[in-house]
Amino acid sequence: MCKDCGCQEANQKMRHGLSQGHAHGIEHEHVVNGQVIRHSHAPRVIDLGLSVLAKNDKIAAENRLWFEKNGTRVFNLISSPGSGKTLLLEKTVQELGPDFKWAIITGDQEKDYDAQRLKRAGANVLQLNTASACHLDASMIHKERDHFITPGLECLVIENVGNLVCPAAFDLGEKEKIAFLSCTEGEDKPTKYPQLFHEAGLIVLTKMDLVPHLDWNLSLCEEHIRRVNPHAPILHVSARTGMGVKTWAHYLRTGTVELNK
């Protein structure tokens, strides 16, 4: 009997190639009494994705209630790798000053480079490593409640794993997702990866000091953003020159955009 698919032919020799196994629904062959028999099985669909998301949503909802009760405003920063999240946060530490009670959780697959950088800048920071996962999930944040995330914290910034797709699907219990997009990535990413840009409450365009050196077109990029998100404020920043850093810090402090900052 085929141990993978349960075919009942007697005396058969499996011919499933190098992997020794086969996916159901893929045509494969057995040798029965010297004759090659090719066949396939209807795929068995197991909706693991939905149940994983449902479980995550439940924990995220608990986190959200807990944060609301404690008066902690939580922002989930999402972007592709290297858009400038950590450098902007490094610059934000000084801007927010010592009296504002805030903390940062940084998520990366491996290493703690971001936490080291932020610690050197004076931030209260915790590094989480996701190993094989491409995103943080609600249970990782749940574990830090009453530990790193102390009651009385005014703001928690979560720098998610650099990835434009997966982190957008996993609610952490945040008040708001914030999408980062650097001008070096091109104008069209908001419509190519719409879920994040659609859900974001704020969109931060980064590395604006580099614009004069690129063919990047700001109006075209904002057009792409508006096709998936007509209303979220769009902030222009350069962590290098300090452009927009005051407005960004004010947003973390109050949850509102104040122009001319």
Binding-site ranges for Mg ion (CB under 5 A): 85-86, 114
Do 252 and 157 meet the contact criterion of CB atoms below 8 Å apart?
A: yes
Binding mask 84-113 for ligand GTP (x = CB under 6 A): xxxx--------------------------
Q: Which two tokens stand for residue 144?
A: 């830090």
Binding of ligand GTP by 160 (CB under 6 A): no
| Chain centre to alpha carbon of residue 17 | 37
Closer of 76 and 86 to ligand GTP (Cβ)? 86
Applying CB under 6 A, does 218 fall inside the site for ligand GTP?
no
CA–CA gap between residue 66 and residue 86 (Å, rounded): 26
CB of 14 or CB of 161, closer to ligand GTP: 161
* Interface with ligand GTP (CB under 6 A), residue from 76, 92, 206, 247: 206
Write the CB contacts of 256 (distance below 8 Å, at least 6 apart in sequence): 250
CA dihedral 149, 65, 61, 107 (to 10 degrees): -20
Among ligand GTP, Mg ion, none, the one that 56 touches (CB under a kind-dependent 5 to 8 A) is none
How far is 225 from 223, CA to CA, in rounded Å?
Answer: 5
Beta strands in 113-254 (DSSP E): 125-129, 155-159, 176-182, 202-206, 234-236
- In what side-by-side order are the strands of the sheet with 28-32? 13-15, 28-32, 35-39
Taking CB under 6 A as the criterion, the residue among 21, 81, 122, 242 binding ligand GTP is 81
Q: Considering only residues 4, 62, 209, 222, which one is a binding residue for ligand GTP as defined by CB under 6 A?
A: 209
The least CB distance from residue 224 to ligand GTP, in Å, is: 20
Of the two residues 74 and 105, which places its CB atom closer to Mg ion in the complex?
105
With respect to ligand GTP, which residue has the nearer C-beta, 84 or 201? 84
Site size with ligand GTP, rule: CB under 6 A: 17
Calpha distance 114→157 (Å, rounded): 13
* Residue 51, token pair as written in the block: 């149940």
Give me the residues that bind ligand GTP (CB under 6 A), please.
79, 81-87, 114, 162, 206-207, 209-210, 238-240
